[in-house]
Amino acid sequence: MTSETIFALSTAPGQAGVAVIRISGSKARFVLQEMSSSFPEPRIAALIKLFDPEDKAELDRCLALWFPGPGSFTGEDVVELHLHGGRAVVDGTIEALAKLPGFRPAEAGEFTRRAFDNDKLDLTEVEGLSDLIAAETEAQRKQAIRQMDGELSKLVEGWRDRLVRMLAYLEAEIDFPDEELEEGISDQVKHKIEELREDIRHHLDDSHRGERLRNGIKIAIVGPPNAGKSSLLNVLARREVAIVSDVAGTTRDIIEVHLDLSGYPVIVSDTAGLREIEENTTDGIELEGIRRAKLHAESADLCLAVFDIEDSDNFDQETLRLLSSTSSFVAINKCDKTDDNEITPVSLSDFDVTKISTKTGEGIDALLEKLNTWVVANMGLSGSSSGITRQRHRSALQECLDSLGRSLETDLPELCAEDLRLATRYLGRITGKVDVEELLDVIFRDFCIGK
Ligand SMILES: Nc1nc2c(ncn2[C@@H]2O[C@H](COP(=O)(O)OP(=O)(O)OP(=O)(O)O)[C@@H](O)[C@H]2O)c(=O)[nH]1
Ligand SMILES: [K+]
Ligand SMILES: [Mg+2]
């Protein structure tokens, strides 16, 4: 292997109890030969004295780990130094490593890039790893681990394997028409294509759970001015995020807070109060706020509408239409202002209504309970979870489906094979494997032709 040996601080920068420096490449062993008081056994932590390779000054007394390739994260020889996490220790070690010939600091993502290049991880597993590092909630962590463990990649590889087999049969029919192959093979292949299409479609039809879990589930608070939307946001966030005032039209910009509901990442946003105002109003800013609020609500996963109990008939038809066209909950706020518990306007009777007061806290737990239940029911990682976590996966699968659809429209095996080849390539894009050689392997294995 001729690549340069790279090194980097793998733990967060700054003062800490322990700092880990990772070194990967063909010359990694130099660290243990030129800078260490001893050479550890593979994979067994050893306490060593670490020296500067030139002036032999002692840098630290640290733990060293030696992972000879290919049994390492990158697939190359890897050394890990678990140093005392002071800045001077880390800086001194980094400087010392740079003095070794053929060593240079790693670029962002370079260790993982090498792992990918050495077939230690495929693309979906790389993505899973990056999601795991970024995971903020339990459900995100679980999804990331499943992807990192190759759940999506196994699924896609399985589909790809089926496709390659169909293709091999077709290729054989085209290339070796004299060979004794079963009759009606094309119909068989077509039936298999149909089955594969069904399976892929089933996985695509998952309401974007994976992506939503990765990016956060969006809940938009909407409703007329002064209903208490910003007050509710502050209660949910447990801090004063948004300005609350008795002036109608206080909120203009969209304000977002991140919550963890039952382990799921949720982004709740406060929006401008919706009301009908003249196009030529003097307050163009409020108009723009309303425009943004509507757009935002339309793209949210869930709308949470807030109305003032004494003014709960105050909504324009457009707001109602908005609520009916998305998943939504209704909160009737300021119930501290009246003892009459029966007030629910007829027009809201179709919705799931909770009476709350952001002032006294009444009903807030009940509302949170409903939100939690909704999130779990709609985002829950059921056994049939597709594991599609990115638009990139979705587009590739859609392209694959389109190619499969086209392959069924022709009776010419050559054209059908071309579409199957394309479909295979789209699946390969998901995992990063686009090898066609394996095709021939299958032909030879299944038919023993030419042997
Ligand atoms: N009595 C009572 N007053 C409330 C309650 N919630 C909010 N308010 C008051 O209602 C007024 C409007 O509250 P906001 O939270 O600013 O309302 P908003 O819906 O964000 O208003 P805009 O941003 O202007 O659309 C403020 O004076 C709040 O103090 C409540 O539960 N009870
Ligand atoms: K207000
Ligand atoms: Mg507001």
**Amino acid identity, residue 17?**
G
132 assigned to some structural domain: no
305 and 225, same structural domain?
yes
Last residue of one domain, picked from the residues 379, 414, 431: 379
Spacing, Cα 115 to ligand 2 middle (Å): 54
438 and 314, same structural domain?
no
Q: What is the ipTM of this complex?
A: 0.99
Residue nearest ligand 1's atom 8 by CA: 228
Q: Domain holding 405: CATH number?
A: 1.20.120.430
What kind and span of H or E run contains 214?
A: helix 209-215
Give the range of the structural domain holding residue 400, as residue numbers without chain letter: 138-206+388-447
Spacing, Cα 285 to ligand 3 middle (Å): 14
Using most ligand atoms within 8 A of CB, pick from 229, 240, 244, 330 the residue to mutate for ligand 1: 244
102 and 40, same structural domain?
yes
125 assigned to some structural domain: no
Model confidence over 147-157: pLDDT tens digits?
A: 988 989 999 99
Asked if residue 226 belongs to a known ligand binding site, the reply is yes
Spacing, Cα 337 to ligand 2 middle (Å): 17
Q: Do the bridges between strand 103-105 and strand 78-84 make them parallel or antiparallel, or are there none, so unpaired?
A: unpaired
328 pLDDT more than 80: yes
Q: Output the ligand 1 site: residues, CB below 6 A.
A: 225-231, 244-246, 248-251, 273, 333-334, 336-337, 357-359
342 pLDDT more than 50: yes
90 assigned to some structural domain: yes
413 pLDDT more than 50: yes
Give the closest ligand to the alpha carbon of residue 359. 1
| Predicted confidence band of residue 447 (pLDDT cuts 50, 70, 90) | very low
Contacts 24+ apart (CB under 8 A), 367-370: 367/329, 367/331, 368/236, 368/261, 370/329
369 and 220, same structural domain?
yes
365 and 257, same structural domain?
yes
366 and 220, same structural domain?
yes
Model confidence over 298-315: pLDDT tens digits?
A: 989 999 999 999 887 777
Spacing, Cα 169 to ligand 3 middle (Å): 64
75 pLDDT more than 70: yes
Asked if residue 227 belongs to a known ligand binding site, the reply is yes
60 assigned to some structural domain: yes
pLDDT at position 435, please?
61
CA–CA distances in Å: residue 358 to residues 72, 308, 344:
55, 11, 18
Model confidence over 172-211: pLDDT tens digits?
A: 777 776 655 555 557 888 999 999 999 999 989 887 888 8
Residue nearest ligand 1's atom 23 by CA: 251
130 assigned to some structural domain: no
Return the ∠ at Cα 285 (arms to 282 and 291), rounded to 5°: 115
414 and 349, same structural domain?
no
Q: Please tell me the distance from the alpha carbon of residue 209 to that of residue 159, in angstroms, as a whole number.
A: 21
Closest CA to 309 of 277, 345, 257, 279: 345
Number of domains in the chain: 3
pLDDT at position 386, please?
64
444 pLDDT more than 60: no
Spacing, Cα 344 to ligand 3 middle (Å): 22
